[in-house]
A and B are shown apart, each in its own frame.
Chain A
Amino acid sequence: GAGVSQSPSNKVTEKGKDVELRCDPISGHTALYWYRQSLGQGLEFLIYFQGNSAPDKSGLPSDRFSAERTGGSVSTLTIQRTQQEDSAVYLCASSPDYRDRVSPLHFGNGTRLTVT
């Protein structure tokens, strides 16, 4: 596609429910990154994928968070048993290859998650 696409753009959920956030990267980009943007916390790196592989999951905030990527394309970030502190904007970005440090990351418009 023309850019990184994220859905939904907004999600309101009740505390304790599970949510799934979707990211569709730029076609051909093998590297995919998830970030969380919270008021007062800035931009927090969560996890990256090279192809379908996520070598390091230590950046995920808790074991309620998981992420997967299939077919080297679409990625989903799942939050189980949501808590109010999970409320934030979740941003996805992609780049041609994770080893390519010269290329910028291309960001989607994010999913604004509100947990009530």
Chain B
Amino acid sequence: AQSVAQPEDQVNVAEGNPLTVKCTYSVSGNPYLFWYVQYPNRGLQFLLKYITGDNLVKGSYGFEAEFNKSQTSFHLKKPSALVSDSALYFCAVRGSSNSGYALNFGKGTSLLVT
């Protein structure tokens, strides 16, 4: 089964410091990986994706993610955190054809920037 894991329930970062939100994956075949952000009382907003190519993927709002095949990781990063980045972050992987390749999500990581 295609799955992702987010080992941290919460990450606390001081404004201006770099941030990392961790994600590891387990897939058969090539991974189609995504990061989403959710603000309170809102749906999920797409940040970035890795399909193939460069291991460093750049996305919206200054976020980037590094794909590491040997470590089966896809960590989300930002060089300088903003208070407005405080939100819930989800890593996801495309599932199997049985589910219409629906996204399988991690449990989410709450990011607090102060």
Indicate if the CB atoms of B32 and A4 lie closer than 8 Å.
no
Q: How far is the CA of A91 from the CA of B43 in the complex (A)?
A: 7
Q: Which segment, of B17-25, B64-72, B78-86, B94-102, faces chain A?
A: B94-102
**B107 with A42: CB separation less than 8 A:** yes
Inter-chain contacts of A91 with B (CB < 8 A): 43-44
Collect the chain B residues with CB atoms within 8 Å of residue A65's CB.
Answer: none
- A12 interface contact, C-beta 8 A: no
* B106 in contact with A102 (CB, 8 Å): no
**Are B99 and A43 neighbours in the complex by a CB distance under 8 Å?**
no
Q: Judge if A59 is at the interface, Cβ distance under 8 Å.
A: yes
CB distance A105 to B100 under 8 Å? no
Tell me if B104 counts as interface (CB < 8 A to partner A): yes
**Which A residues are CB-close (under 8 A) to B63?**
none
Alpha-carbon gap, A109 to B43, bound state (A): 4
Proximity bits, B23-45, A CB within 8 Å = 1, else 0: 00000000010101000011111
Q: Tell me which residues across on chain A come within 8 A of B95, comparing CB atoms.
A: 45
Looking at the assembled complex, report how far the CB atom of B10 sits from the nearest CB atom of chain A, in whole angstroms: 15
A91-B43, A91-B44 are contacts. A33–B108 as well, Cβ < 8 Å? Answer: no
Please give the residue numbers on chain B whose beta carbons come within 8 Å of chain A beta carbons, in ascending order: 32, 34, 36, 41-46, 49, 51, 90, 94-95, 98-108
